[in-house]
Amino acid sequence: MFCYQCEQTQFDEGRHGCFGSRGACGKDAATSDLQDVLIHLCKGIAQYTAKARALGASDIEIDRFVSFAVFTTLTNVNFDAEKFVAWIHQAASVRDRAKAMYEAAAKEAGKPVEALSGPALFQPAADQAGLLAQAQETGILYGIEKLGENAVGLRSLLLFGVKGVAAYGHHASVLGEEREAVFAGIERALVSLSTEEADLGLLLEEGLELGRVNFTAMEALDKANTATFGSPVPTAVRVTPVKGKAILVSGHDLKDLLVLLKATEGTGINVYTHGEMLPAHGYPGLKKFPHLAGNYGGAWQDQQIEFAEFPGPIILTSNCLIKPTPKYKDRVYTLGPVGWPGVKHLSGEDYSAIIAHAQNLPGFTEDGADKTILVGFGREAVLSVADKVIGAVKDGAIKHFFLVGGCDGAKSGRNYFTDFAENAPKDTVVLTLGCGKYRFNKHDFGTVAGLPRLLDVGQCNDAYSALIIATKLAEAFGVGVNELPLSLIVSWFEQKAAAILLTLLALGVRNIRLGPTLPVFLTPALVNVLVEKFGIAPIGDANADIAACMARV
């Protein structure tokens, strides 16, 4: 195996990355290699669907399969090698369907059928051992001697970005919000990766194009969530337990939470959110359920301790899953793209097994002390007080905005983000999103100009909302986003962050501070390009960075 797609990748004296028998996330070598094979097949599917799409033919089922399959390879989503063997074989038959679609479209258009090469022709072996032998030629480093380190670095950024776009696309798709541009954009990036493209300029442009596609994917997801559940409203969320039976839901998929809330109505079971599910409490269509009792625990990396103590079943709807310990493994259920060997996986919307499981477990035996935090500051809630915000900036009551957002992780160096948020001067506002906020969202930030100083915009999936807030404020001030008194402090961990980074770069957002470390797949030469072209800076000392941001240096 070789994998360096996330921030917690291992380090050695040579190439940085996870190799050997298991990655730092717990992904074993077989699963990692099979994920590479699945991605290879998705490239082959994309080669045919791109040709078909150019002739006006497409198949939404094929497009959905590609998004789903690519999503399964995201960090902390699926660790089940057997599942990947099945998906690889399914991908081969999907590829054959895509090929037939292209050939029919060419025939109908009176065009010759082009013979494609590369992943389009890949024939997966019948069993896992055969697939693992084939995996040697499907990994991200394959051909690096010919392609060069820098090209492989940009190809990695493109591949990891496309994983993020596929995740956003899939979340929007399950709520019925789909965009041809997103499917075509995922396909375009995969086709680019199916070739031996090594031109750095072209690869960078492909990355920026994918960033634009991701903006559309995030817009679709925002529309899907707000059309289904209403726009988030500021909401106090209980962060302590309520006496009674309990189910915990983690991950990003709000639709799964809705199905569970409906299924548990009248059962006496309380539903708690975990991790990136926290922002669900702000949506009118979800908060209306009185048994959506509160939020439990902190960020994903603490789950082995917190899940062990939770007195009910736990549902993982998407990332981040880490190895369930024997203390709670039998209480974990996975949905959709998520999986762990030996953990129960639910297909369909029948939650009766989980409900019965919750009824048989003790639940919380007493109420915790009353303690709440505020969520629900999506674009509509923030922009509804735009006049107040603009007035406060103009009269000097608010000096600066910091967006301290992104993923959390287990590595040291992440205290920076806590220090940054907590040390930001009292006349500044801290916007946050993603799971990195768990390091500071129970801290009392107080208010400024009558507004809460900490505004939780939502999940990492809500980066679109933050971008709209920035764009609208910039319009109101008559300046560009880069001229606003706003600094972006981004913590990255997995591949959705790569997609968002590409979007920010494509939109021309400059001077982003990125940490806790820069992605290891970016070579020093590529980092130089990001610094020179886009003003990206690695994080440094929190207080010095706050001062530099406010002085706009």
Residues forming the site for ligand SF3 (CB under 6 A): 76, 252, 275-276, 300, 319-320, 407-408, 434-435, 459-460, 493-494, 496
For ligand SF3, give the closer residue by CB, 119 or 279: 279
Q: Examine residue 6 and tell whether it contacts ligand SF4 (CB under 6 A).
A: yes
Residue pair 159/193 in contact by the 8 Å Cβ criterion: yes
| Partner interacting with residue 27 (select from ligand SF3, ligand SF4, none; CB below 5-8 Å by kind) | ligand SF4
Q: What is the DSSP letter of 115?
A: P
Pick the stretch among 16-24, 136-144, 207-215, 393-401 that binds ligand SF4 (CB under 6 A).
Answer: 16-24
CA–CA gap between residue 36 and residue 395 (Å, rounded): 55
Nearest residue by C-beta to ligand SF4?
23
| Burial 25-38, CB ≥16 within 10 A → b, else e | bebbbbbbbbbbbb
For ligand SF3, give the closer residue by CB, 88 or 320: 320
| Partner interacting with residue 549 (select from ligand SF4, ligand SF3, none; CB below 5-8 Å by kind) | none
| Burial 270-303, CB ≥16 within 10 A → b, else e | bbbbbbbbbbbbbbebbbebebbbbbbbbbbbbb
Q: Please state the φ and ψ torsions of residue 454, each to the nearest 5 degrees.
A: -105, 120
Q: Is 422 marked within a binding site? A: no
| Partner interacting with residue 460 (select from ligand SF3, ligand SF4, none; CB below 5-8 Å by kind) | ligand SF3
Q: Examine residue 192 and tell whether it contacts ligand SF4 (CB under 6 A).
A: no
Q: Is 549 marked within a binding site? A: no
Residues numbered 63-82 forming contacts with ligand SF4, rule: CB under 6 A: 75
For ligand SF4, give the closer residue by CB, 16 or 472: 16
Site string for ligand SF4, 26-55 (x = CB under 6 A): -x----x-----------------------
Q: Examine residue 9 and tell whether it contacts ligand SF4 (CB under 6 A).
A: yes
CA–CA gap between residue 15 and residue 39 (Å, rounded): 22
Q: Examine residue 191 and tell whether it contacts ligand SF4 (CB under 6 A).
A: no
Question: Which is nearest to 439 in space by CA: 464, 404, 465, 403?
Answer: 404
| Secondary structure class of 433 (helix, strand, coil) | strand
Q: Which of 14, 15, 18, 401 binds ligand SF4 (CB under 6 A)?
A: 18
CA–CA gap between residue 56 and residue 121 (Å, rounded): 23
For ligand SF3, give the closer residue by CB, 88 or 433: 433
What do you get for the CA distance between the two ends of the chain, in Å?
Answer: 42
Q: Examine residue 3 and tell whether it contacts ligand SF4 (CB under 6 A).
A: yes
Q: Is 6 marked within a binding site? A: yes
For ligand SF3, give the closer residue by CB, 101 or 320: 320
Start-end of H helices in 128-275 = 128-134, 144-147, 149-174, 180-194, 200-229, 254-264
For ligand SF3, give the closer residue by CB, 91 or 278: 278
Tokens representing 512? Answer: 């982003």
The answer to whether the Cα torsion of 362, 268, 359, 247 is positive or negative is negative
| Least distance between ligand SF4 and beta carbon 413 (Å) | 16
Q: Examine residue 398 and tell whether it contacts ligand SF4 (CB under 6 A).
A: no
| Least distance between ligand SF3 and beta carbon 249 (Å) | 13
Q: Please state the φ and ψ torsions of residue 430, each to the nearest 5 degrees.
A: -110, 115
Q: Is 18 marked within a binding site? A: yes
| Least distance between ligand SF3 and beta carbon 407 (Å) | 3
State the CB neighbour count (10 A cutoff) for residue 184.
18
CA–CA gap between residue 375 and residue 384 (Å, rounded): 15
Q: Is 42 marked within a binding site? A: no
Q: Transcribe 23-60 into DSSP letters.
A: -TTS-BHHHHHHHHHHHHHHHHHHHHHHHHHHTT---H
Residues of the binding site for [4Fe-4S] cluster: 3, 6, 18, 25
Chain positions contacting ligand SF4, by CB under 6 A:
3-6, 8-9, 18, 23-25, 27, 32, 75
Residues of the binding site: 3, 6, 18, 25, 252, 276, 320, 407, 435, 460, 494, 496
